[in-house]
Each structure stands twice: as structure tokens, then as C-alpha cells.
């Protein structure tokens, strides 16, 4: 979609979300091949599944559907009797073509938020038009500070890496974001796909227990990455084979108009022998899928439309079954000790012998791992802890850090905060880490 059509959609967003009748549109969108059946299903499941949430997701996804998406959408509106919306978009589009500045004079709202996103956010009063209240919020108003003592340490200064010369202040972040030589450019909206695989219930034969609390993690991840402008898809309780199928299907999608791809896996895990990336995650059938096989599905050969674009993987699973008692330091704050409820490990024994699920195609064809970032919840070989009521330490901390700092810090800086915060939790310790093969800094779109 060209920039003029994208801007028009955004300026008409509030009106569309308010008035759009989505139920009659599904067949028309399919008939004109504007969306696939899977995409329609994703839109229907967006948020609470209400008409408003579906309309909001539809308008967001429409921007990714090619240069003819807007005129085709207008035709769909006409086919379903939504003539006033069709007329608004068609007339505005024609006016914008005659005079590119005309679109800026449209008396429409450019920012539209859900009611729950506006709670507690102060903004200047503005005159209303009909039943709409125009609200345009600046970055600080969109991101009100929410400090979480177990996650954030305000007393720690935040240096910004500005190259070999040393450190600078926060002003350098803006230059890094805007400089394509220093940071990936995430201009697309949505930025890309985010696939969340949430394995909670395992078959009895696997010998693996239910991962109570993982649904809390899943909800946090789903909400967080939607706020970061990703199209989030959740798949639950997949066998090893179905996990691979879901990942391959994601890699085979057309990412040409998108700028990034994220995969989040919540499951039991184990230590395995490996060439590139340590660890493996379990399907619900008790079979393993190695992390390196997951990552290589998205390499330049298997997924050409993501070449040169960041591919980020978050693995919430044990790297083994070792429990780390840690070592003594001068003092430990009371909040760093274990809470009342006992956490559970996402662990399983180390797997030796014949390699099946984690065998790469051929050693000689292993790809150069450029533009790949893999974040592990724990150090290889060790347990990753999960609370049955509040979710895993790693995901809970990740969500809090991203909420506070994603608007100003790059991915690696964010995960340093996560590692620091998780490392001081509990009686048994946990140390998140990462394999970073990004070529540039990655700032999420907020």
C-alpha cells in the first residue's frame, strides 16, 4: 500500500472502527482475495472478538495487503451496502490524488485507542464532533510510567552506546533510531508477524507435567507485541510435528511488506547436543524440536522475504535440569527472596543418543546466522522457573521492562535489564541470556 493510502486509512481509523460492520465483509474480502481464510480467522479472534476489536484489526491488517488493497476494500464496502464509508474513502482518496495536501485537512482523528488504554491518561480537552472525541497523544502520554520494583531500578543510570568513543545520554537514541546504518528501519505498520506457541498440557506418555501459569505468560506476550505493532497469532498445545508445521507456514508467508518477525515459544525444554544454538523445546507429545532447527527455518534460503530483516526468538523453557543455588553477595533485598508460592521448573532430562528432531539437514549447508536474535529464559543446562499464578519469571520481567523502556531502548539493552532483574529472584537462581547475530540495533515501533 502506498503512503498516501496508508495515511488516509489512519486518518479515517476512528470512523471505520466506530461504524464498520465486519460480519458482512468476510465473504467479500475472500472473494476479492484481499485476505486468506487464515487471516480472516485471525482478525475474527482479535482482542475480545467484539465487532470493534475485529474492525480495528481489519483496518490495521489492510495496510499490509498490497497497492490495490484500499480500492478493493472500498469495493467490498459497496458490495455489502456500507455506502457512506465507501463514499468517504473514495472521495478522500480522489481528493488526495488531485491535491496531496488535501488529506491533511480531513477533520478526522489520527490516533484511536481502546477505552481501557485511555484510563488514567490525562490529555487536553478538545471540542467534540458528533460522538467522537479527538485525542492526539504524545509519546509520554501514550507510555505513562509504571514502575515495578522487581523489574526496574530507577537509580541505575542508562548509558547509551554510541560507538567506540564511549557513552552518551538519551539524545543519542533518537539518532540511532533514525540512522539506517545504526538501526534497523521498522517503518511498516504492522511491523510483522509474531507467532506464540504456548504448550501447557502434555500427553501422559510424555512424562511431562502441565505448565500451569503459562496462559498468564501467553496473555502478556500477546498484548505486549500487539502494542508493539505486530500481528500476533497464538497456537496452543502443539505436538513437535505441528510446531514445525506452524513455523514453516510462518516462514513461507510473504513478509515482503513487513520489517521484522518474532517467534515466542512457551514450553518444557531440555539440553541437547547442537551445532549452533543450544537447547530444545518439547511438543505436547513429548518429542523435542531443537532451537537451532527452529531458527534455521527462517534463514535466508528457507525464508527469502525476511532476508536482511531482524528475526527474533524468545524461548521460555528450561535449558536442562540443573538448579543453581547461586553464590553469596554482600546483601540481598527482601523482595529478591522467594515469594510465598513455589515456582515450577520447565525442565526435562538431557537427551543423548540418536538425534532425530534436532538434526539439521546437512552440516555443509548451515546458513550464516545474520539478522537473528535468540533470547533464552535461562543459561544452557539450567532450570527456568515459572510461578503457577503469575507466570514465568522471564516473561513477567520481559513484559515489565518492555512496558517501561521499549520506547527508548534497543532490544539488547532491554534484555540486559531483564537479565539483571531475573538474576536476583528466588532462592534458586536463573540467568537469562541471548545469542545476538543482529547487524544493527533493533528498536521496536511504539
Answer whether residue 163 shows pLDDT above 80.
Answer: no
What gap in Å lies between CA 132 and CA 15, rounded to an integer? Answer: 9
Our answer to whether residue 318 is catalytic in this structure is yes
More confident of the two residues 379 and 110: 379
Give the model's pLDDT for residue 122.
39
Answer whether residue 343 shows pLDDT above 80.
Answer: no
Same domain? For 94 and 191 the reply is: no
Same domain? For 185 and 332 the reply is: yes
> Which of residues 75, 105, 135 is at a domain's end?
105
φ, ψ for residue 182 (rounded to 5)? -105, -30
Same domain? For 269 and 337 the reply is: yes
Give the model's pLDDT for residue 306.
93
Give the model's pLDDT for residue 294.
94
Lowest mean pLDDT among 200-209, 216-225, 259-268: 200-209
Average pLDDT over residues 337-351: 51
Classify residue 389 as exposed, middle or buried by CB count within 10 Å of its CB (0-12, 13-18, 19+).
exposed
> Which of residues 90, 105, 120 is at a domain's end?
105
Same domain? For 173 and 98 the reply is: no
φ, ψ for residue 433 (rounded to 5)? -160, 180
Same domain? For 100 and 186 the reply is: no
Written as nine digits, the cell of 404 is: 517501561
The residues that bridge with 330 in the sheet, in sequence order, are none
Residue 293 lies in a domain: yes
CB of 164 within 8 A of CB of 431? no
- Which among 69, 59, 58 is positioned nearest to 1, based on CA atoms? 69
- Which among 139, 146, 144, 150 is positioned nearest to 417, based on CA atoms? 150
pLDDT band at 93 (very low <50, low <70, confident <90, very high): confident
What gap in Å lies between CA 378 and CA 321, rounded to an integer? Answer: 11
Residue 339 lies in a domain: yes
Answer whether residue 355 shows pLDDT above 60.
Answer: no
Same domain? For 220 and 369 the reply is: yes
More confident of the two residues 66 and 163: 66
Residue 124 lies in a domain: no
Domains contained in the chain, number:
2
Tell me which of 261, 268, 303, 434 is the catalytic residue: 268
Residue 123 lies in a domain: no
> What percent of the chain clears pLDDT 70, i.e. is strictly above it?
69
> Which of residues 61, 83, 105 is at a domain's end?
105
Quote the domain boundaries for residue 14.
Answer: 3-105
Our answer to whether residue 229 is catalytic in this structure is no
Q: What is the pLDDT of residues 168-213, one digit of tens each?
A: 333 444 545 656 568 999 999 999 999 999 999 999 998 888 998 8
Same domain? For 174 and 88 the reply is: no
Same domain? For 73 and 182 the reply is: no
Residue 36 lies in a domain: yes
Alpha-carbon distance values, 229 to 27, 65, 186, 222 (Å): 26, 16, 10, 11
Answer whether residue 116 shows pLDDT above 70.
Answer: no
The CATH number of whichever domain residue 284 belongs to comes to 3.40.50.1460
> What percent of the chain clears pLDDT 90, i.e. is strictly above it?
35
Answer whether residue 124 shows pLDDT above 60.
Answer: no
- Which among 56, 22, 19 is positioned nearest to 130, based on CA atoms? 19
The secondary structure element, H or E, covering residue 67 is none
Where on the phi/psi map is residue 272: left (φ > 0), alpha (ψ -120 to 50), or beta? beta
Give the model's pLDDT for residue 151.
34
Give the model's pLDDT for residue 264.
97
The CATH number of whichever domain residue 91 belongs to comes to 1.10.533.10
Give the model's pLDDT for residue 13.
85
- Nearest-5° Cα angle at 382, 376 to 386: 70
Same domain? For 17 and 101 the reply is: yes
Residue 148 lies in a domain: no
Give the model's pLDDT for residue 345.
57
Tell me which of 12, 260, 318, 434 is the catalytic residue: 318
Same domain? For 99 and 176 the reply is: no
What gap in Å lies between CA 6 and CA 275, rounded to an integer? Answer: 44
Residue 420 lies in a domain: yes
311-316 vs 372-376, strand pairing mode: parallel
Same domain? For 84 and 174 the reply is: no
For 265-368, where are the alpha helices, taking DSSP H only?
Answer: 291-296
Average pLDDT over residues 32-46: 85
Average pLDDT over residues 267-289: 85
Same domain? For 99 and 187 the reply is: no
Residue 119 lies in a domain: no
Amino acid at each position: 500500500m502506498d503512503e498516501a493510502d496508508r495515511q488516509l486509512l489512519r486518518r479515517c481509523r476512528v470512523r471505520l472502527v466506530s461504524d464498520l460492520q465486519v460480519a458482512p465483509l468476510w465473504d467479500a474480502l475472500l472473494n476479492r482475495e484481499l485476505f486468506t481464510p487464515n487471516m480472516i480467522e485471525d482478525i475474527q479472534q482479535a482482542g475480545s472478538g467484539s465487532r470493534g476489536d475485529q474492525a480495528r484489526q481489519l483496518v490495521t491488517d489492510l495496510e499490509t495487503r498490497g497497492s490495490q488493497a484500499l480500492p478493493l476494500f472500498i469495493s467490498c464496502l459497496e458490495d455489502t451496502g456500507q455506502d457512506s464509508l465507501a463514499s468517504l474513502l473514495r472521495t478522500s482518496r480522489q481528493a488526495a490524488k488531485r491535491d496531496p495536501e488535501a488529506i491533511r485537512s480531513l477533520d478526522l482523528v489520527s490516533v484511536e485507542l481502546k477505552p481501557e488504554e485511555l484510563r488514567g491518561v490525562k490529555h487536553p480537552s478538545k471540542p467534540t464532533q458528533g460522538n467522537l472525541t479527538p485525542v492526539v497523544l504524545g509519546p509520554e502520554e501514550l507510555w505513562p510510567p509504571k514502575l515495578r520494583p522487581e523489574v526496574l531500578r530507577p537509580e541505575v543510570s542508562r548509558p547509551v552506546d554510541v560507538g567506540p568513543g564511549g557513552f552518551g545520554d538519551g539524545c543519542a537514541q533518537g539518532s540511532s533510531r533514525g540512522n539506517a546504518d545504526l538501526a534497523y528501519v521498522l517503518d511498516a505498520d504492522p511491523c510483522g508477524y509474531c507467532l506464540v506457541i504456548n504448550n501447557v498440557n502434555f500427553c501422559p506418555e510424555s512424562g511431562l507435567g502441565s505448565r500451569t501459569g503459562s496462559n498468564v505468560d501467553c496473555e502478556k506476550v500477546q498484548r505486549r507485541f500487539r502494542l508493539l505493532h505486530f500481528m500476533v497469532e497464538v497456537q496452543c498445545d502443539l505436538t513437535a510435528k505441528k510446531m514445525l508445521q506452524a513455523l514453516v507456514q510462518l516462514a513461507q508467508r510473504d513478509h515482503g511488506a513487513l520489517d521484522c518477525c518474532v517467534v515466542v515459544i512457551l514450553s518444557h525444554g531440555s539440553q541437547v547436543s547442537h551445532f549452533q544454538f543450544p537447547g530444545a523445546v518439547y511438543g505436547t507429545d513429548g518429542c523435542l524440536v531443537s532451537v537451532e532447527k527452529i531458527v534455521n527455518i527462517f534463514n535466508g534460503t528457507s525464508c527469502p522475504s525476511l532476508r536482511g530483516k531482524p528475526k527474533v526468538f524468545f524461548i521460555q523453557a528450561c535449558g536442562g535440569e540443573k538448579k543453581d543455588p547461586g553464590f553469596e553477595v554482600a546483601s540481598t533485598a527482601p523482595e529478591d527472596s522467594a515469594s510465598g508460592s513455589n515456582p515450577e521448573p520447565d525442565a526435562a532430562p538431557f537427551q543423548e543418543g540418536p538425534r532425530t528432531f534436532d538434526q539439521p539437514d546437512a552440516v555443509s549447508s548451515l546458513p550464516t546466522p545474520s539478522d537473528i536474535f535468540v533470547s533464552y529464559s535461562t543459561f544452557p543446562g539450567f532450570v527456568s522457573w515459572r510461578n503457577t499464578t503469575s507466570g514465568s519469571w522471564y516473561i513477567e520481567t520481559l513484559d515489565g521492562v518492555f512496558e517501561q523502556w521499549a520506547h527508548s531502548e534497543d532490544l539488547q539493552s532491554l534484555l540486559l535489564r531483564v537479565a539483571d532483574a531475573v538474576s536476583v529472584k528466588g532462592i534458586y537462581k536463573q540467568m537469562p541470556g541471548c545469542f545476538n547475530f543482529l547487524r544493527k540495533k533493533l528498536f521496536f515501533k511504539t
